[in-house]
Amino acid sequence: MDSPLDTPPPDRILRAAVIGAGYWGPNLARNFASSPRWDLVAVCDLDAERAAKVARAAGGAQAMTSVDELLARDDVDAVAIATPARTHHALVMAALRAGKHVVVEKPIADDVDAAREMIAEAAARGLVLMTDHTFCYTPAVVKIRELIEAGELGEILFVDSVRINLGLVQQDVDVFWDLAPHDLSILDYILPGGLQPESVAAHGADPLGAGKACVGHLVLPLPGGAVAHVNVNWLSPTKIRSFTVGGSRRTLVWDDLNPQQRLSVYDRGVDLETQALDRLDRKHATISYRLGDTWSPALKEREALGAMVAELADSITQGRAPLTDGAAGLRVLNILAAASASLAAGGDACPVAMEPVVIGTETRDELVGEPV
Ligand SMILES: NC(=O)c1ccc[n+]([C@@H]2O[C@H](COP(=O)([O-])OP(=O)(O)OC[C@H]3O[C@@H](n4cnc5c(N)ncnc54)[C@H](O)[C@@H]3O)[C@@H](O)[C@H]2O)c1
C-alpha cells in the first residue's frame, strides 16, 4: 500500500466498528473490545436486535442499523466486515471511500475482479485492507511457518489437509468456498513465496441433492513436483482437522483437535539413495527409511483473533501492509475461482490466475535482476 496520509501515532488507541453481528461478528467484537490497542465504538447489523445484543455483550458499544451513518462517523478508524461474501465488495468499497481502514472476513469477495478493485482502492487511498485469515494467527500456524522458514522440514514434498465435520450446508456457497479458504490461506501463509499454483483440479460431490458440492477434494501442484491436497466435507459425522506437511528432512502433523499435542514433528521419512544415478535410473535407486524421534514444539496459548486485531493496529500505525493483506485474500480467491471452473469441467485441472507480487509501488517482475 502507499504511505497512509494520516498515520496515527503508535500509542494512540484506535477505534473500531464491526459490521455484521451474525455467527462470526460477535467474536470480532469481543476481541476488539478486549484489546488494549482498540476501543470498540459501534456494532452495526441490518437486524437491530442482533446489533444490540452483540454491542451489549462487548461492553456497551453503540448498536446501529445503518452502514451509511456508521461510515459518516469521524470517531471510527477501522471497520471489520463480517457479513456474507456477496456483500463484501460493496461494504468494503464504501468503507474505504469513507476513509476507514478495513478488515474483511474470508473470502475477501465472491469475485476476483471485485477483489482487485478493493485492493486498488485501498492502495490509492493509503488505507489498510486486511483479510481475516484467522488461522494464520494461531500459534500452531505461526510455528509451522517458522519451522519451514528455518529449513527444519527440508524441501516440501507434500501437504495434506483434512477439514471434515457435520457442517452447516450454506445457502449461497459450496463446501469449497465455505471451508477451503482456511486451508488455502494457511498454505499461502506457510509456503515460502506464498501459494500460487499454476493449476487446480477440483472434484466435488452432492450426494444429498443440495444443489452444490457438499464433499470436495482439491489437488494443487506445488513447485519441484510437490503436491498439496485439500479434503473438505460438510457431511462427515466425525470432526477431523489434520494438516500434514511432508518434507525431505522431517514431516510435521498438526492436529488442531488435540490440545495436548497439536504439533508433532517426525524425524521419519523415505530417502532415495540416488547419488551416482541419473534421473532415469531412479527406479533402481536404493530406498531407505529414517525412523528417528518424534517431538512436539511448545506453543503459546492465545486466541488467534486477539493477534489478528493487534496486527491490524500495527499495520495501521506502522503504515505497512498486514500479514494477511488484500493480496493474500486475492490469491486464495483466484484458486477458489479456478476450483469452480475445474468442477464445471468435470475435474480437469484449470489454470489459476497469477497476480504480480507488489513490493512497495513496484512489482516483483520489475525487480528481477536488481538488488533488493
Ligand atoms: N474467519 C473465520 O474463521 C470465519 C468463521 C465463520 C464465518 N466467517 C466469515 O464471516 C462472514 C459472515 O459469516 P457468518 O457465518 O457470521 O454469517 P451470518 O449470516 O451468521 O451473519 C451475517 C450478518 O450480517 C448481517 N448483514 C448482512 N448484510 C448486511 C449489511 N449490508 N449491513 C449490515 N449487516 C449486514 C446479517 O443481518 C447477519 O446478522 C462470511 O464471510 C464468513 O465466511 C469467517
Residue 340 is assigned to a structural domain of this protein: no
Q: Does the beta carbon of 106 lie inside 6 Å of ligand 1?
A: yes
334 within some domain: no
Do 70 and 29 share a structural domain?
A: yes
78 with 176, same domain?
A: no
User: Does residue 134 have its Cβ closer than 6 Å to ligand 1?
Assistant: yes
Which pTM does this prediction carry? Answer: 0.91
Q: What is the pLDDT of residue 358?
A: 53
The residue whose CA has the least distance to atom 5 of ligand 1 is 24
In a domain, 6, yes or no: no
Ramachandran angles phi, psi of 67, nearest 5° = -65, -40
- pLDDT at position 343 is 97
For residue 61, give the CATH number of its domain: 3.40.50.720
Same domain, 101 and 235: no
Could you state, in chain order, the average pLDDT of each consecutive group of 10 residues for the chain (372 residues)? 58 94 98 97 98 95 98 98 96 98 96 97 98 97 97 96 92 92 98 92 96 97 95 97 97 95 91 61 72 90 95 97 97 97 97 72 33 24
- Say if ligand 1 is within 6 A of residue 20 CB: yes
Claim to verify: residue 147 and residue 268 sit in the same structural domain: yes
Quick check: helix, strand or coil at residue 360? coil
Q: How far is the CA of 365 from the centre of ligand 1 (A)?
A: 37
Contact present, 333 and 355 (Cβ < 8 Å): no
Say how many Å lie between the CA of residue 104 and the centre of ligand 1: 10
Identify the DSSP state of 309.
H
Residue 3 covered by a domain: no
C-alpha cell at 266: 517426525
Q: Is residue 238 part of a domain?
A: yes
> Which CATH number covers residue 172?
3.30.360.10
The best mutation among 43, 45, 332 to test binding of ligand 1, ranked by most ligand atoms within 8 Å of the C-beta, falls on: 45
Q: In which domain, by residue range, is 175 found?
A: 136-295
CA dihedral 248, 249, 254, 258 (to 10 degrees): 140
Cα–Cα distances in angstroms (integers) from residue 273 to residues 148, 256, 285, in the given order: 24, 35, 6
**Residue 365 within a domain:** yes
Residue 355: strand, helix, or coil:
coil
Residue 176: closest CA among 25, 327, 343: 343
